[in-house]
Chains A and B, each alone.
Chain A
């Protein structure tokens, strides 16, 4: 399993610099709608970063269901979409238990960990997202905790 971005919602302040940094890095614009990491804010209590677990807390459902096998799981790196091969069927979008893959210009997009140097993590001022070995004992609970906070099952 790869290193991954681990969320720590208990210290997330809701500043959303991670989302801004992500859209700037990948799209050269500012638009949190286009970010691959998302912060859910609800009332005064909740600020929760939601981001792809890279298989650490899921069954890589996106890759499993892809009918053309364009979502690649490579040991030691991020789960990535081979965009040229994507047919835009949206099966992965429906399958992801964390809602961390979606469509852009009819192609699936997701967090690619900035190829091993995630920009969002560098911007986070409060260490609410860290780039860590996701497979370490108990760490998968962090993603599940984040998901539970925002009302996922």
Chain B
């Protein structure tokens, strides 16, 4: 099959067995690749209702269809497993170059099951697949692990976990070359398998169906992106470009664990302040013409020598505004700690913010924190707590469970300070002032997530794709909007295209690119139906794993505490509004009132 590696690689770490199978044409047609393949394999290969840390839980890595091809921003690969944080769909998408590397080795998916008796790493060099001893790597942080493996194995890509993954921190991520599959705890599942790293070198040709069209279409797209009036600011300031707009003009930048949604001390964490001072150059993933990464270097002072790829918008929120921390150097330091330890910056920052809220409300004290004065804005305490979480020391051990489980353990009314949906800590959009995003947080199969719809941009600007005149304060019309956005953006995860370029492709923009890659003809409707199919399959998975209608609920702060000031002053989500949006969504999806797809819908999608 043109455009594909062609094979699925199955590795059982318990037995050491390695098997190969072919990707069928039917699978390629119906699921395209990336998250489509990953979700299909997860539901087929996992044991229903198993624990996320049980050896039977598969960890699946699936490159998007465009990985390895010069499609601008087309280097994204999905890691997928049952999430230890939510108990639901744990799919997390990583940039960088390792997706293409796996395809060049000949594989469109890697399925890892079992648990090794001792720490190991998986080595894939084209046909050569070996499980190797990692005793002397266990305990090392992410950069040291990658360096040590590269010294042994040469020119390879290393996707690895840090101490957080080893310690089963429920929001541990997987890192490869400063890019992360951060969310949902994929790194903890790797740790539970005694798997320190996935090490890949692929040298086979990838053959496009139409090399001439492949060249021409992508050259045009590079031109379209780089000549866009937004390009300079998008790449100079990265994903945090709109931080102050979201904060000051929209009043939807969650602050101090969602007490407020305007962060007055934002000056330094705004990229318009820090990029000219600390960013030395732009950094890109493989085949990306729109580099959002920044080589962030601190040359002097307390954190001299720090060099990271960052700081992303979500991290400016989680380690910045959420913790009341307006000091950019310490935010960057927190980013470095999370990356080195292998923790999701979003959840990690939210968890610290939750602990700070408990401290300020007298639910926990210095006795619990090991002497840390954990008030909002204490950046040194924040950094210390991040380390404690990764190492599961003291209070960090409880917090490493994520806010939902930590609140259950701590009790004393701490639940009302635990901001999460389905166990997932939220990203940087105060949904009290963005109603459609509130619905999107609830409907996402991995809990509070911005990237399963990207509806924040649509809601905040009022227009995107086929939508216009959208009112972010209204409950009307959100069911169809969120359903359609979910079906569109999951296609990006199947193709491996970054959502930072979502304004360039939409569904119709993929028709010619898919044809040039594989030779297959899809209409716009066909592409969106693949998206709908993947989303219904995700829903079948989470229902099988025990999610019910009762789990479609927003955090107490969102439904009881109106935003206290700023441009979204007075807004919150009412229970009636929440139920109206959900009802409209289930109708739009063709699901019953218990969020279960109807037989007709499943038959229509061939499921």
For the complex, is B206 an interface residue (Cβ under 8 Å from A)?
yes
With A44-B308, A126-B291 in contact, do A29 and B284 touch (Cβ < 8 Å)?
no
Chain A positions within 8 Å of B104 at CB level: 31
Partner of B222, one of A11, A31, A47, A125: A125
Chain B positions within 8 Å of A10 at CB level: 281
Shortest distance from the beta carbon of B147 to any chain A beta carbon, whole Å: 8
Query: Contact at A47–B283, with CB atoms within 8 Å?
Result: yes
Instruction: List 10 extra interface pairs beyond A15-B288, A29-B211, A119-B215, CB under 8 A.
Output: A15-B291, A17-B72, A29-B206, A30-B69, A31-B203, A45-B307, A122-B222, A123-B222, A125-B72, A125-B226
For the complex, is B298 an interface residue (Cβ under 8 Å from A)?
no
For the complex, is A14 an interface residue (Cβ under 8 Å from B)?
yes
**Which residue of the partner chain A has the closest CB to B97?**
A16
Chain B positions within 8 Å of A47 at CB level: 283
Shortest distance from the beta carbon of A3 to any chain B beta carbon, whole Å: 20
**Which residues of B in the span 267-309 have a Cβ within 8 Å of any Cβ on A?**
281-291, 293, 295, 307-309
Partner of A15, one of B143, B281, B284: B284
For the complex, is A139 an interface residue (Cβ under 8 Å from B)?
no
Query: Contact at A14–B283, with CB atoms within 8 Å?
Result: yes
Query: Contact at B208–A44, with CB atoms within 8 Å?
Result: no
- Quick one: which of A15, A25, A29 has the most chain B CB within 10 A? A15
Residues of A participating in the B interface, judged by any CB pair closer than 8 Å:
10-17, 20-21, 24-25, 27-31, 33-34, 41, 43-45, 47, 119, 122-123, 125-126
Chain B positions within 8 Å of A119 at CB level: 215
Chain A positions within 8 Å of B291 at CB level: 13, 15, 125-126
With A10-B281, A29-B205 in contact, do A125 and B70 touch (Cβ < 8 Å)?
no
* C-alpha gap A20/B291 in the complex (Å): 17
Query: Contact at B207–A29, with CB atoms within 8 Å?
Result: yes
Query: Contact at A41–B177, with CB atoms within 8 Å?
Result: yes
With A44-B295, A125-B289 in contact, do A17 and B222 touch (Cβ < 8 Å)?
yes
* C-alpha gap A32/B281 in the complex (Å): 23
Query: Contact at B284–A44, with CB atoms within 8 Å?
Result: no
* C-alpha gap A122/B289 in the complex (Å): 12
Shortest distance from the beta carbon of A141 to any chain B beta carbon, whole Å: 19
**Which residue of the partner chain B has the closest CB to A10?**
B281
Query: Contact at A21–B178, with CB atoms within 8 Å?
Result: no
* C-alpha gap A82/B291 in the complex (Å): 38
Shortest distance from the beta carbon of A123 to any chain B beta carbon, whole Å: 6
Partner of A24, one of B204, B211, B226, B309: B211
Partner of B282, one of A11, A16, A45: A11
Partner of B178, one of A28, A31, A44, A126: A44
Chain B positions within 8 Å of A14 at CB level: 283-284
Chain B positions within 8 Å of A33 at CB level: 203
Query: Contact at A31–B206, with CB atoms within 8 Å?
Result: yes
For the complex, is B561 an interface residue (Cβ under 8 Å from A)?
no
Q: 27 A-B contacts, Cβ less than 8 Å apart?
A: A13-B288, A15-B285, A15-B288, A16-B286, A16-B287, A17-B70, A20-B69, A20-B287, A21-B70, A24-B208, A24-B214, A27-B205, A28-B211, A29-B211, A30-B68, A30-B69, A30-B206, A31-B206, A44-B307, A44-B308, A45-B307, A122-B222, A123-B219, A125-B222, A125-B225, A125-B284, A126-B291
Chain A positions within 8 Å of B214 at CB level: 24
**Which residue of the partner chain B has the closest CB to A15?**
B284
**Which residue of the partner chain B has the closest CB to A27?**
B205
**Which residue of the partner chain A has the closest CB to B289?**
A125
Chain A positions within 8 Å of B281 at CB level: 10-13
Query: Contact at A13–B70, with CB atoms within 8 Å?
Result: no
User: Using an 8 Å CB-CB cutoff, how does the interface string of B130-147 with A read, 1 for contact, 0 for none?
Assistant: 000000000000010000
* C-alpha gap A107/B211 in the complex (Å): 24
* C-alpha gap A123/B218 in the complex (Å): 8
Chain A positions within 8 Å of B211 at CB level: 24, 28-29
* C-alpha gap A45/B284 in the complex (Å): 12
Shortest distance from the beta carbon of B152 to any chain A beta carbon, whole Å: 16
User: Using an 8 Å CB-CB cutoff, how does the interface string of B329-350 with A read, 1 for contact, 0 for none?
Assistant: 0000000000000000000000
With A119-B215, A123-B219 in contact, do A24 and B282 touch (Cβ < 8 Å)?
no
**Which residue of the partner chain A has the closest CB to B147?**
A43
Chain A positions within 8 Å of B219 at CB level: 21, 122-123
Query: Contact at B290–A24, with CB atoms within 8 Å?
Result: no
With A11-B281, A28-B211, A31-B206 in contact, do A44 and B309 touch (Cβ < 8 Å)?
yes
**Which residues of B in the span 196-234 have a Cβ within 8 Å of any Cβ on A?**
203-208, 211, 214-215, 218-219, 222, 225-226
With A24-B70, A44-B283 in contact, do A15 and B215 touch (Cβ < 8 Å)?
no
Chain A positions within 8 Å of B284 at CB level: 13-15, 125
Chain A positions within 8 Å of B68 at CB level: 30
**Which residue of the partner chain A has the closest CB to B143?**
A43
* C-alpha gap A31/B100 in the complex (Å): 10
Query: Contact at B307–A30, with CB atoms within 8 Å?
Result: no
Query: Contact at B69–A15, with CB atoms within 8 Å?
Result: no
- By Cβ-Cβ distance, the 4 closest A-B pairs, closest first, are A125-B289, A13-B284, A15-B284, A29-B205
* C-alpha gap A47/B177 in the complex (Å): 12
Query: Contact at A30–B293, with CB atoms within 8 Å?
Result: no
**Which residue of the partner chain B has the closest CB to A23?**
B205
**Which residue of the partner chain A has the closest CB to B286?**
A16
Chain B positions within 8 Å of A15 at CB level: 284-289, 291
Chain B positions within 8 Å of A45 at CB level: 295, 307
Chain B positions within 8 Å of A43 at CB level: 143, 307
Query: Contact at B215–A13, with CB atoms within 8 Å?
Result: no
Partner of A30, one of B70, B282, B283: B70
Chain B positions within 8 Å of A16 at CB level: 97, 286-287
- Quick one: which of A41, A43, A119, A123 has the most chain B CB within 10 A? A123
- Quick one: which of A12, A20, A119 has the most chain B CB within 10 A? A20
* C-alpha gap A31/B69 in the complex (Å): 9
**Which residue of the partner chain B has the closest CB to A122?**
B219
Partner of B70, one of A28, A41, A123, A126: A123
* C-alpha gap A110/B215 in the complex (Å): 20
Chain B positions within 8 Å of A31 at CB level: 104, 203-206
* C-alpha gap A29/B70 in the complex (Å): 11
Shortest distance from the beta carbon of B2 to any chain A beta carbon, whole Å: 11
